[in-house]
A and B are shown apart, each in its own frame.
Chain A
Amino acid sequence: MDNLKEELKKQIIEQLNLEDITPADIQDDSLLFNDAGLGLDSIDALELIVLLEKYHGIQVTNPEEGKEAFKSISTMADYILKRKA
């Protein structure tokens, strides 16, 4: 689980071109779409959908599912494990 979270952080940095950010800057439970977290927006949500398909072979087809899954690194990791189970 911890490895998956670390991988996710690196993948988000790569996918979103966050050149100034390191994995250590992203907390597991920080809200990704909140200004206190990474401050992501709707364009970045698209990138996260692409990321899940590209790196994990998961297609997000239900918008409600994505809303929950993309809350934080922890919820993304939970979602990936659940979809792969």
Chain B
Amino acid sequence: MTRIKAYCHLREDFCSVNGQVIAKRDKDSEDGWFKQIYKAQEFAYPKFHKMDGLSQAGFLASELIKRIYPEMVTAYKDDEIAMVFANQSSSADTDLRFQRSYEQNGAPSPSLFVYTLPNIVLGEIAILNKWYGENMFAVLPKFAPDFFVDYSQILMSAGSKAVLGGWIGIMEKQVNVFLFFADDSGQDGLEFSPENLAGLAEM
């Protein structure tokens, strides 16, 4: 049976892993919220600073899940972990920044342009971990637990052994991120069902 082994929430003012809050936003800090988490958790990946919000959120949540569930990187071959992400606004947050930058500077910015697709976050995580598994990014009207379970089961019936997935909503100041990792090993964790996924996402 596939079970949810670990999960991470990122919201506007807190970050939690498996339901335990590990960071709260310091509104007086000079650093942005995601940089506060990056520094507090002592990550060392300079490319983080070049990423857009969507990719920074994906980096932080996936790395925090890796820390609490290290088997994620030790138990699988490089093509056995699939990624299934979704959100409502695609890469609109960066698209708008790119548009404003183009209007203000009179020239397009290549470094912003490369993030004007939502699935770039999947590429960033795959590059970091050297993963070559299946991945897809869906743009949906709202969080749909059935979609994640159904699509993950299709991928797992076709060779994938585990799934890193979830909702990664980043738009203007709004942060609504819920990533989970599910696999078939052991008896730990909640059953990977739409009901359980919906319950965890609401935490």
Contact = CB atoms under 8 A, between A and B. Distances in A.
Interface of A: 15-21, 35-40, 43-44, 46-47, 50
A47 B111 contact: yes
Mostly, the B contact residues are helix
Contacts of A35: 45-47
Contacts of A21: 49
Contact of B32 (A20, A36, A47): A20
B35 interface: yes
Given A20-B31, A20-B32, A36 B46 contact: yes
B196 interface: no
B32 A44 contact: no
A43 B109 CA distance: 10
Contacts of B32: 19-20
Nearest to B34: A20
Interface of B: 31-32, 34-35, 38, 45-50, 97, 101, 107, 109-112, 114
Mostly, the A contact residues are loop
Contacts, number: 46
A7 B147 CA distance: 50
A65 B178 CA distance: 46
A43 B35 contact: no
B46 A16 contact: no
Contacts of A44: 50, 110-111
Nearest first, the 7 A-B pairs at minimum CB distance are A39-B46, A39-B47, A20-B35, A20-B49, A43-B110, A16-B111, A46-B110
A26 to B, nearest CB: 10
17 contacts: A16-B50, A16-B111, A17-B97, A17-B109, A17-B111, A18-B49, A18-B50, A20-B32, A20-B34, A20-B35, A20-B49, A35-B45, A39-B45, A39-B47, A44-B50, A44-B110, A47-B109
Contacts of B50: 16-18, 38-40, 44
B101 A17 contact: yes
Which of A15, A17, A43, A50 counts the most chain B CB atoms within 10 A?
A17
B46 A38 contact: yes
A47 B31 contact: no
A20 B60 CA distance: 15
Contacts of A20: 31-32, 34-35, 38, 48-49
Contacts of A37: 46
A15 B111 CA distance: 9
